């Protein structure tokens, strides 16, 4: 694995860490459901071959895949 591939894998793992460690365990809601008071998270899952992960020098690349969008809500806390 060359340096570019290692950096790409590390960037993908960093981008997925918040989702896998926290957001994935929250209840999901349909995207067309009305927003209610509280906190909600919108998760956008890009394909591994998407150009969003090929950002040279921190510049933003355009997405060239069809991402999956999932909405999660925070449960009510006491």
**Total domains present in the chain:** 1
Specify the DSSP element, H or E, that contains 11: helix 3-21
- Quick check: is 78 in a domain? no
For the full predicted model, state whether its pTM sits above 0.75.
Answer: no
| Greatest Cα pair distance in the chain | 49
HSE-CB of 7 using CA atoms within 13 angstroms: 9
Q: How many CA atoms does the CB half-sphere of 59 hold within 13 Å? A: 5
Per-residue model confidence as pLDDT tens for the chain (78 residues)? 788 888 878 887 887 787 788 887 888 888 888 888 888 888 888 888 888 777 665 566 778 888 888 898 888 775
38 occurs within a structural domain: yes
Q: Which residue range(s) make up the domain with 31?
A: 3-73
């Amino acid at each position: 694995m060359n340096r570019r591939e290692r950096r790409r894998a590390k960037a993908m793992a960093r981008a997925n860490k918040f989702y896998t460690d926290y957001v994935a365990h929250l209840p999901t809601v349909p995207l067309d459901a009305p927003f209610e008071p509280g906190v909600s998270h919108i998760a956008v899952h890009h394909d591994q071959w998407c150009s969003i992960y090929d950002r040279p020098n921190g510049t933003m690349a355009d997405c060239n895949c069809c991402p999956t969008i999932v909405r999660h809500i925070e449960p009510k806390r006491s």
